[in-house]
A and B are shown apart, each in its own frame.
Chain A
Amino acid sequence: MKIFKLILPLLLVITCSAQEWSGADEIAEDTIKELNPNYEPWFSPIFEPVGELETLFFSIQAAIGGFLIGYFLGKHERKS
């Protein structure tokens, strides 16, 4: 548990300060356009969250994961 306590706040701090960093996928997208300027994506996402909605769905994803881990580790701790 010690490592968790050390790393998680650190992760939070870095993640919070990362607002202006662009995603590696955007850079890859630019590279694709450079390698093949004629390429047009032939399919676009059916649903694309805009603005804060994206943050919401990312948080929900992390929350689901955190819940699953916490619930089952907690359950084991109670038993022992």
Chain B
Amino acid sequence: MHIMEGFLKPEWCAFWFALATPVVIYGAWRVKREIEKDPKAKSLLAVSLGFIFVLSALKLPSVTGSCSHPTGTGVAVILFGPSVTAFLSSIALLYQALLLAHGGITTLGANTFSMGIVGPFFGFLAYKALKKFSLPVAFFSAAAVADLTTYVITSLQLALAFPAFPGIEGVWISAIRFLGIFAITQLPIAVVEAFLAVALLRNIKAYSPEVSTA
């Protein structure tokens, strides 16, 4: 779940926008370059975006009795790397902010930072670390790690904005509360997402073995 509209003070909104915007712009430039280099990249970019769209529209129930949705960034990050993923995620987040009142325009920077940048980046690290060992395991881990890390970052962002009391200790106490809400709910959802990501990536690989991963 993304941070709701108006739920971060203006200074925090500005801070996360400042961090996220350069990455999204670089990602957009990379997308342009990928298409110029090989027009066939368009279809894989579309599939990556499609996966983000489908998965972030699915509100799944979880063990905690509440619902949350996957992020779907695993496929994009494996095929194109973190910066392109940041750009694609910002499209999905913009759609949800404008049409669904889910997330928000003011919190778009913060949500792009968690879902589009840090989450996929850690997923990418997991993929790089495991890909020599086994490709399906690397796919699975990348998707699960990208999903879970997104919600860990969301929890930290909320904790920074709403510490239980002033000072760093208050931030930690809030962080533990928010992690209790998001991370535990997200755990089984991340596993479901990872299975779907592996299935899609294996299909892509089967149809076009020449597809290179990032």
* Count of interface residues, chain B, beta-carbon cutoff 8 Å: 64
| A residues 29-79 in Cβ contact with B at 8 Å | 29, 31-32, 35-36, 39, 41-49, 54, 57-62, 64-69, 71-73, 75-77
* Interface pair A68/B46, CB less than 8 Å apart: yes
When the two chains form the complex, which single residue of A4, A54, A58 contacts B199, counting CB atoms closer than 8 Å? A4
* Interface pair B164/A35, CB less than 8 Å apart: yes
**Number of residue pairs across A and B with beta carbons under 8 Å?**
168
**Given A46-B105, A68-B49, do A41 and B67 touch, yes or no (CB 8 Å)?**
no
Interface size class of A (residues with CB under 8 A): 35 or more
Contacts of B204 in A (CB 8 A): 73, 76
* Interface pair B7/A32, CB less than 8 Å apart: yes
* Interface pair A28/B61, CB less than 8 Å apart: no
| A residues 1-44 in Cβ contact with B at 8 Å | 1, 3-4, 7, 11, 14-15, 17-18, 21-29, 31-32, 35-36, 39, 41-44
- What 3 A-B pairs come out closest when comparing CB atoms? A65-B53, A68-B50, A41-B6
**What 8 additional pairs, Cβ within 8 angstroms, besides A7-B195, A21-B67?**
A21-B61, A24-B67, A41-B6, A64-B50, A65-B57, A67-B50, A72-B46, A72-B50
